Amino acid sequence: MKKNSETYFTTGQFAKICKVNKRTLFHYDEIGLFQPAFIDENGYRYYSYHQFDLFSIITVLKELNVPLKEIKTYLDERTPERILDLSKHKISEVNKEIDKMIKIKHILEETIVYTHKGLNSTSSEIKLEEHEEERIIRSTSLEENNINDYAEWMMNFKKFEHSTQSVGASFVGSMLDKEAILAGKYASKSYLFVKTNNRNNTHFSNFIKPKGLYAVAYHHGSYEKIGRTYERLIQYIEKENFLIQEFAYEEYLIDEVGAKDESEYVTQITVRLKSKNL
């Protein structure tokens, strides 16, 4: 070999350094995308150290799902101006993908928190807790929109979920006003809501879940039977000499995503209280 062996690499060496299979280099050579610097008289391929950067940009573009045919066109016609345009365009795509991945990570983190809380709850337990003020995003009134059909309710639920799903917002829950609770109309939800730490929201109706004393109960089982837990919660509140304030907040800790059997569903019900003596 007449070439300086210290500045050239065999196919195996080049593939190992670039962390690819040798077959990838053979394929790129066959389609004219990326060819060795030279082939010796015995048919062995050799790559130059100058080619590492070029191979890196091929790898990056491939990771961005750019077809090999388009990558070849770019390499055949590359100029400084084209690499500028390509880089700016791909940065925009990468930022969108990063935003998507951050949202997915947030959903997974929320799932862990909610599921742990559901698994650590008991259906017989009712707790009194002091809660700090919480900022929430609230939907339009479900009652004013006359949403009674379950299919229509679910459509509104998914639409609200999609529009509010972001980093800094929790999973969607439901609000049930005290009149409906006291009338035993436990399926008559007033609003959908998500908790949020975004103070600059201008697209949705902001609402404050007030600071105060709350009764917290956990319903284990299907949504259709949640009235049993509400009735038990009402009895407890009356026994402890409290009155229900404003709304009950339902949060679905374990639902169809985490359990096949409805008996394993867990819904947290939180109600603000006021002493009868005040």
Query: What 3-state class would DSSP assign to 117?
Result: helix
Binned at pLDDT 50, 70 and 90, residue 152 comes out as: confident
- What 3-state class would DSSP assign to 225? helix
Domains of the chain with bracketed CATH: 8-78 (1.10.1660.10), 108-275 (3.20.80.10)
| Residues 227-272 pLDDT 10s | 999 999 999 999 999 999 999 999 999 999 899 999 999 999 999 9
User: Can you tell me whether residue 45 is helix, strand or coil?
Assistant: strand
Beta bridge partners of 150: none
Tokens of 59: 């790898």
Q: What percent of the chain has pLDDT over 90?
A: 67
Q: What pLDDT, on a 0 to 100 scale, did the predictor assign at position 1?
A: 46
| CB count in 10 Å sphere of residue 171 | 19
Closest Cα partner for 51 from 77, 10, 14, 84?
A: 14
pLDDT digits (tens, 9 = 90+) for 104-126: 898 899 999 999 999 999 988 89
Rg, C-alpha atoms of the chain: 30
DSSP string, 185-213: -TT---EEEEEB--TT--SSEEEEE--EE
pTM of the model: 0.77
**Can you name the residues that pair with 47 across neighbouring β-strands?**
9
Confidence of residue 160 (pLDDT cuts 50, 70, 90): confident
Most confident range (mean pLDDT) of 145-154, 165-174, 201-210, 260-269 is 260-269
Q: What is the pLDDT of residue 3?
A: 55
For the chain, give percent helix, strand, coil, nearest 5: 45, 25, 30
Query: Which pLDDT value is given to residue 196?
Result: 87
